[in-house]
Structure 1
Amino acid sequence: MKLEKPRMFTSTRDLVISLGVLGAVMAFSVGFTGMCSYNPGPADTAGPVNEVDIDTILDSEAQALNFPVRNPDVPDNWQANSGRRISVDRELSSVAGWVADERYFISLTQTSADLEAAVDYQDDTDEAIREETDVYTNDGSDGEVTWHIYTGEEARTLWAAELDDVTLMLTGTATQEMFETLADKVVTTDPIDAGAGS
């Protein structure tokens, strides 16, 4: 003789009620232990900056890459927090990043890719669409340098310039003044001596 399942296991309504009761019991049990908390406030970004030895990183890049690498003398309240090697338009490139005033971020990319390819790479990386909206001109070690400034809706500002031997890009959440500071510093910095580490 075939036994029929109790009706409570065959009704969708009963199944939903059973799951609801089970969920309530689990929530009560976890809450009772005090090991679960909920804080709907904003994320805490006031933690310490993860500092890196940017001098050593950029010295190493200068030995490995096929273009001159610069290590700009940034303000004392800028803390280097990242340094890595990336590929821009299939060219090995260097990225260094700093936290300024403990709240703003700015990065410097140095690459042998041409300016247009470098900007396209950054747009693809950020999944952003930018247009050139301004220029900034400063004096570099080898003469006047023009920085092309690209902006876009919901996209970080991007500055890009070509020197004789390298393309430079700046991006991040920094202020206009901070962009100008890094732009001025990097174009007046001599390249690292690639033979210094050999």
Structure 2
Amino acid sequence: MASDKPRILHDNKDMVWSLVPLVLFCIIIAGIASQCTFSPGGPTQGPIPSVDIDSALKYDSRELGFPIRNPGVPDGWTPNSGSRAIIAGTGGGDSSTVGFITTAGRYLQLTQSNAEEMPLVAHVAGGQRFATDVQQIGSHSWNVYGGDGVEPIWVTDIDGVRLLLTGAASEADFTTLATNVGEAEPLTR
């Protein structure tokens, strides 16, 4: 006589009891591998990565064929990222990008490029954008590409180099970075 009941008599309770050991085994393995945590208060802010912006911008000024500026950001801003990219297509070129976390904890990035304005904006925005405003910061006019539900993009041209700002920072932080980079002298090559 068989010790197990016929397959037709198995129900959801039997399936649940079959899965319990498997789930417990997965939790134990994940705990051993330190790949999960329990945080009843919600996620917490981790450390902000730091980048040596001075070295990165000096390197870009030697490697790229256009002047690069170091904006000299306020105390409390943390440079946290840097990259270079090639903007393909008609009017494209090279670009150097650095990012900052402001004292308010918001991200703001500066891209410097020899590409034309519209290809640069499309590259950063991931698609077509249209100018919605103009900001006069010092002696430079910044075209503002905005809209509902998108991060603003500010673009100006200084001596044939396009400077682009974008991020989730406040307008005051945009103005601060625009002022600093507009007043900065190009780095020596």
TM-score bracket, shorter-length normalisation: 0.7 to 0.9
Q: For residues 130 and 151 of structure 1, what CA distance do their matches in structure 2 show?
A: 8
Write out aligned runs for 1:1-198 (5 A). 7-8=6-7, 14=10, 18-28=14-24, 35=31, 38-39=38-39, 42-45=42-45, 47-89=46-88, 90-101=92-103, 103-124=105-126, 130-139=129-138, 144-194=139-189
Contact 1:67 1:166 in 2 (8 A): yes
CA shift, 1:14, in A, is 3.7
CA shift, 1:129, in A, is 5.9
Contact 1:138 1:146 in 2 (8 A): yes
1:119-165 per-residue CA deviation (whole Å, 9 max, x = no partner) reads 111121xxx664422211122xxxx3111111233321111112222
Which structure 1 segments of 5+ residues have no match? 1-5
Q: Secondary structure at the match of 1:66?
A: coil
User: Which deviates more from structure 2 when the two are superposed, residues 180-189 or residues 28-37?
Assistant: 28-37
Contact 1:87 1:93 in 2 (8 A): yes
Q: For residues 97 and 175 of structure 2, what CA distance do their matches in structure 1 show?
A: 18
Q: For residues 39 and 186 of structure 2, what CA distance do their matches in structure 1 show?
A: 48
Q: For residues 115 and 191 of structure 1, what CA distance do their matches in structure 2 show?
A: 20
Q: For residues 98 and 171 of structure 1, what CA distance do their matches in structure 2 show?
A: 11
CA shift, 1:52, in A, is 1.1
Q: For residues 166 and 79 of structure 2, what CA distance do their matches in structure 1 show?
A: 15
Task: Give the letter aligned to residue 107 of structure 2.
Answer: F
Task: Give the letter aligned to residue 48 of structure 2.
Answer: V
Contact 1:81 1:99 in 2 (8 A): yes
Contact 1:159 1:170 in 2 (8 A): yes
CA shift, 1:58, in A, is 0.3
Which structure 2 segments of 5+ residues have no match? none
1:51-83 per-residue CA deviation (whole Å, 9 max, x = no partner) reads 111000100000000100000111011111111
Residue identity (%): 30
Contact 1:114 1:162 in 2 (8 A): no
- The structure with the greater share of residues assigned to strand is 1
The number of equivalent residue pairs is 178
CA shift, 1:105, in A, is 1.0
Using structure 2 for the length normalisation, give the TM-score. 0.81
**Which aligned runs of 4 or more in structure 1 are off by greater than 6 angstroms?**
30-34
CA shift, 1:22, in A, is 2.1
CA shift, 1:185, in A, is 0.6
